[in-house]
Amino acid sequence: MKKAAFLSLLFFPLLLACSHGPSAEEQAMEAARVAAQGYYDFLLRGDFQQFLSGRADADSLPSDYSEQLQVACHQFMIQQRQAHDGMVAARATRAVIDSSLHVVQVFLQIDYADSTREEIVVPMVECGGEWKMR
């Protein structure tokens, strides 16, 4: 009986440690993954202004430069249509944190209409409580 009580006291802290929710790093990776997915959903819908709002420097871009970037996004999507019949989906498959650089690398799988796939890496940084593309 004493042995069982001793073992329960020994394993109780371990049980408590395992029962807590996700760590701060896991929460950061998930938040960055969701944000990157959202920004690329805007790109796929042709909402280039919203896609570009996901850049870390979006607030400091001059309006004429922002317009040039929107045109570049539009041209990129035309290029993807010519090369692969267009992008049809972007899925954030995983995220890896580099806590020393304060960056989360989000891996996105891009699916094209011609049935090809590509994996890209989107570096994400936290800016004022939001995750943005670097």
How many residues can be counted in the chain?
134
Q: Once rounded to an integer, what is the mean pLDDT over residues 102-126?
A: 97
Q: What pLDDT is recorded for position 32?
A: 97
Q: What pLDDT is recorded for position 14?
A: 47
Task: Return mean pLDDT, the chain.
Answer: 89
Bridge partners for 131 per DSSP: 126
Collapsing DSSP to helix, strand or coil, 4 comes out as helix
- Confidence at 7, pLDDT banded by 50, 70, 90: very low
- pLDDT tens, position by position, 91-110: 999 999 998 888 999 999 99
Tell whether the model's pLDDT for residue 127 goes beyond 50: yes
- Which DSSP string corresponds to 89-134? EEEEEEEEEETTTTEEEEEEEEEETTS-EEEEEEEEEEETTEEEE-
